[in-house]
Structure 1
Amino acid sequence: MSTRFPAHVRVYRSRSGEAAVRSWCERELAACPGMRPLPRIEADGHGTRVHVLDGGRGVPVLVLPGAGLSSAALTGTARLLARDRTVILADLPGEPGLSCPHRPLGGRAAAYGAWLDALLPQVTDRPVVLLGHALGAAAVLSSLPSPLVDRLLLLNPAGLAAPVRDTGRLRATCAWRLSPGEDTSTRLLRAWGGPAGPGPLAEWMTLVGRHCRTGTVPGLLRGEEFRDWRGVPVTVATGSRDRVLSPALLRGAARRLLDTDVHVVAGAGHLVPHEAPEQVRDLLRRGGG
């Protein structure tokens, strides 16, 4: 059954803003050697753009970005991971990027889980690692276990615990929303425990701040949204400096709900796929393929 995204809830504030964001994404993806787009996919009624970077002989990985992020911001990480395995990048519907711009009003995690259920058999015919970052991890946890899932790698995962309340992060978020620019975007990334200086990610966040409506990330997944992943290898990791979902916050939930510990990525914050791609590569290698 299709989980509809209400057509009037658009992530973009204007058509020109949508064009600016999509143009940035297309440029970054086109600049990545070997990256190829798949034809537009309809998954649970939501138009989805997927890109593939063919790689080594390891188990392929399907990468789902976090809220406010996109595949185009992960091309550097994809190039590194492709040394070991094929990398599949999918933009979540309702988030800035190249997929459908319509955002769900309620039941957001369940909507993304249904979307992933429909997407998976259209992008692979053999088992893959599902790598979800933040909101992408919540989508993974809300999807149905499948023979096409080899294992899970959840980075800074939303859904396991409620985010830390932090006044500094709130102030940085308000400043970024009111006046998106290099300075406020860099401050926001720093408040997440992320990169401390200007760079491509700050450029992306400035673009998002100017042209997109920000949404809320799901808190705790409800019982009916959280699927039974027993029997599937699961790795949970977060940054030692993550000020949104700290290692201490995630440990109890990961043990209780997924029967696993939390790997701590030293020196990283809430943006592990962007900050520590080498460590992400190591975590994938530890899974055995």
Structure 2
Amino acid sequence: MPHRRTASSPGNLSIYRTSVGRDAVARWCRDRLDAWPLTHERHEITVDGAVTHAVTAGHGDRTVVVVPGTNTCAAVQYPLVAALGRRCRVVAVDLPGQPGLSSGDRPPATDRLAWYGRWLGQVIEKVTHGPVTVLGHSLGAAVALACPAPQVEQQVLLSPAGVVPLRVTPGVALAAAGWVVRRADSGSRRLLRVMHAPGNRPRAELVEWMTLVARHVRSSADPGLLPVPDRDVRRTVAVGAADVFLPPSRLAPHVRRALGVEVRVVDDAGHFVTDERPDAVAALVDG
């Protein structure tokens, strides 16, 4: 499927170090989507000046909009999209300002999460019809919480950023530093193992992706804390039992206070719960 270039030439606002790197990331994403053994369609829309890429798959009266976390995109999320596509229609979006097929320019630094929330609301208006469920992971969960769209009737928030500061242990910091410095599969694999539950082996495709990101992308930081949402929608919050950034015991009291719900714990999963337990995550959309 032909696509036009997804971002302007890298500059001060771009997440990409070079135009060559930007093109390498885009090529990798398209190659992976081409290889999906899943019928899907790809769309490009412009929202608030930002080119936005979305993948749709599955069928049904219900639509789930998937918003990924930092340094991930739809092309990396085949296990989750496939699991959801067996239940409903899925729209998986790439966040502008994150590596993928959407714009590589960072959103405004001031009130960035508010900008993302408005962006998501406009995406929902353009690519869905009727009530939707938004499933957000990490940064994507923070974006979901910031979204004021009235079409959203349910939020499934996985390892949500923005509720409590992420815990960064010395082991995580060391693995992250090695990933940035080495820019090789060995560093990516080590970091991903820290972010997975013990015994869960990161997919080779995910290792390859993280190496590509290390080489070509200036990663963004924790989005900071969100104000308590003023919209009362049905919410499910879940976290991997071995999440190194957001241990359930740390996350649960903050979620209870801010959102008024109990955290569900997904066994045998770490921070990459969407990749480690995609079927368990897909089941959460049923409430």
Q: What is the TM-score normalised by the length of structure 2?
A: 0.91
**Correspondence for 2:277:** 276
Matched, 1:152 2:155: yes
* Gaps in structure 2 of 5+ consecutive residues: 1-9
**Correspondence for 1:137:** 141
Q: Which moved more, 1:154-163 or 1:28-37?
A: 28-37
Please give the root-mean-square deviation of Cα atoms over the aligned residues, in Å.
Answer: 1.6
1:179-228: per-residue Cα shift (whole Å, max 9, x none)? 1111110111122235444611111101100111111021211x3xx431
Q: Which amino acid aligns with 2:268?
A: G
Judged with a 3 Å threshold, the aligned counterparts in structure 2 of structure 1 residues 62 and 173 are, in CA distance, closer, same or farther, namely same
Q: Is the 8 A contact 1:145 1:228 kept in 2?
A: no
What SS does the corresponding residue of 1:49 show, helix, strand or coil? strand
Count of paired positions: 274
Q: Which amino acid aligns with 1:135?
A: L
Q: Which amino acid aligns with 1:255?
A: R
Between the aligned partners of 1:90 and 1:184, the Cα distance in structure 2 is 27
What SS does the corresponding residue of 1:204 show, helix, strand or coil? helix
Q: Is the 8 A contact 1:145 1:229 kept in 2?
A: no
Matched, 1:65 2:64: no
Deviation at 1:114, TM superposition (A): 1.7
Matched, 1:100 2:100: no
Give structure 1 regions of 4+ aligned residues with deviation exceeding 4 angstroms: none
Matched, 1:166 2:169: yes
Between the aligned partners of 2:139 and 2:129, the Cα distance in structure 1 is 25
**Correspondence for 1:209:** 214
Matched, 1:8 2:1: no
Q: Is the 8 A contact 2:25 2:99 kept in 1?
A: yes
Between the aligned partners of 1:245 and 1:188, the Cα distance in structure 2 is 16
Q: Is the 8 A contact 2:58 2:86 kept in 1?
A: no
| Same amino acid, percent of matched pairs | 38
**Correspondence for 1:241:** 242
Aligned pair partner of 1:47 in 31, 46, 51: 51
**Correspondence for 1:21:** 25
Judged with a 3 Å threshold, the aligned counterparts in structure 2 of structure 1 residues 197 and 143 are, in CA distance, closer, same or farther, namely closer
Q: Is the 8 A contact 1:28 1:75 kept in 2?
A: no
